[in-house]
Amino acid sequence: MGKIIAVHSYKGGTGKTLLSVNLAASFAKLGKKVCLFDLDFRAPSLFSILEVDDAQCWLNDYLNGACDIKKVMVDLSSRINGNGNFFAALANPETEAIRDMSAKDRKWEMRALGRLLSLRNTLLNDQEFDYLIFDTSPGLQYSSINAIVTADFVVVATTGDRSDVSGTRRMLQELYNLFEKKTGLVINKVLDSTSKSKKNEMDTRIKNVYQVPMLGLVPCFCEILRAEGNLIFVQDKPNHPFTKILEDMAKRIDNNQIS
Amino acid sequence: MTREELLSKKPLRILEKIKENLESINDKMEIMIELQKHSHKENPILPDAPLDVMTLLSMPDHLRKTAMTICRYGRATAEDVAQQTSRARAVESAYLNQLVIMGYLKKERKGRKAYFYADKDSQG
């Protein structure tokens, strides 16, 4: 049976969307059937990154109980090389929709959790998807915690920023532990990642500070900034080191080699 | 059916009825025990409280495990929950009834089985 992976972080700007899109594309390149979900309802971005403007329904509508998940998913398989399937379910970027989503009550959030959990049946069981990837909002928000509770595995993106380190540590201990979630940490925007001393420092930090398995170190690449969000890196730059790192992460998740 | 056959089936049916009644008494007693526990505390009993993720976060660990299983299944018996959590059925039954008393879950009887769910609209 397939898996649900949530990509989350304590602070914004840690690279969740970059990781989600490229992880999903890496799985698709491995021949998997994947759907990428934009659960960042406060700042939707996948519609723009994936250049989709013909979605029949938004993910917002599905969570509102107004439409079927099949009407939300857009087939983008033609954008990826190989025989995998790449779908996306997008959040509505209109200001009115963002305002509406941030004003939901607890009962709605409870039902939204039920609808996310039921994707396990409709997509993983019935439609035989291999991976559902949830790109979330940073921090402790309803939509993100709903995504974490639903997921089988959570990828936590973090950087070396002081405020991010302490916040991420607290979040891992006080949120993920309570829900007994399997977690993998990605440290993004690492400077001098090739130097041995830096690698050792990172290893020690992960062991002492975060106490969760490491999924990967992603160096700071100027090419990613230069691309200005116009590229799906693992697809458009197949030989770039970033692509290699992401493909390695996808393979390790797929082979259950996170420790 | 011969008279002998009818007579031999009757005690079986009576025994089954007794078992059913005992199970129903057992369930009621579990609720009474939980109610009694609550009457010592100052916790207000909330009717129809939503079982959202923030509520799950603030729950004691033992109840969170049970409540999350119901969230995952949508609707389940104490037996189903016990299989998932690897705890005894009677323990899960007590926790589930406690969650009912707290207003987070609802209980519905179908024949001899008692089903628990959080919300009619999101039952699996």
- Tell me the pLDDT band of B27, cut-offs 50, 70 and 90: confident
pLDDT digits (tens, 9 = 90+) for B40-64: 555 555 567 889 999 999 999 999 9
Q: Which residue of A has its CA nearest to B58?
A: A178
Amino acid A194: pLDDT: 72
Amino acid A222: pLDDT: 86
- The structure tokens listed for A198 are 């830096």
Q: Is A117 on the interface with B (CB under 8 A)?
A: yes
Q: Do B54 and A146 count as a contact with CB atoms less than 8 A apart? A: no
Amino acid B45: pLDDT: 55
Q: Is B53 on the interface with A (CB under 8 A)?
A: yes
The distance of B32 to chain A (nearest Cα, Å) reads: 28
Q: Do A106 and B52 count as a contact with CB atoms less than 8 A apart? A: yes
Report the SS3 class of residue A115. Answer: helix
A220 phi and psi angles, rounded to 5 deg: -80, 115
Q: Which chain A residues are within 8 Å of B99, Cβ to Cβ?
A: none
Q: What is the ipTM of this complex?
A: 0.82
Q: Which chain B residues are within 8 Å of A113, Cβ to Cβ?
A: 52-53, 71, 122
pLDDT digits (tens, 9 = 90+) for B8-23: 778 888 899 999 999 8
> Around Cβ A200, how many Cβ atoms within 10 Å?
10
Buried b (16+ CB within 10 A) or exposed e, B89-98: eeebbbbbbb
d(CA A220, CA A205): 18
Cβ(B82)–Cβ(B88) below 8 Å:
yes
- Tell me the pLDDT band of B76, cut-offs 50, 70 and 90: very high
Amino acid B11: pLDDT: 84
Amino acid A190: pLDDT: 85
* B104 pLDDT above the threshold of 90: yes
Report the SS3 class of residue A167. Answer: helix
Amino acid A186: pLDDT: 92
Report chain B's mean pLDDT, rounded to a whole number.
85
Amino acid A202: pLDDT: 77
Q: Which chain B residues are within 8 Å of A110, Cβ to Cβ?
A: 50-52, 118-119, 122
Q: Is B124 on the interface with A (CB under 8 A)?
A: yes
What is the separation of C-alpha B33 from the centre of its chain, rounded to a whole number of angstroms? Answer: 13
* B122 pLDDT above the threshold of 60: no
Which of B55, B47, B71 is CA-nearest to residue B124?
B71
Low-confidence ranges of chain A (pLDDT < 70): 193, 259
Number of A/B CB contacts below 8 angstroms equals 60
Report the SS3 class of residue A189. Answer: strand
Report the SS3 class of residue A125. Answer: helix
Q: What is the DSSP letter of B107?
A: E
Amino acid A214: pLDDT: 87
Angle at A146 between CA A15 and CA A210, to 5 degrees: 50
The distance of A178 to chain B (nearest Cα, Å) reads: 7
* B124 pLDDT above the threshold of 60: no
Q: Do A107 and B52 count as a contact with CB atoms less than 8 A apart? A: yes
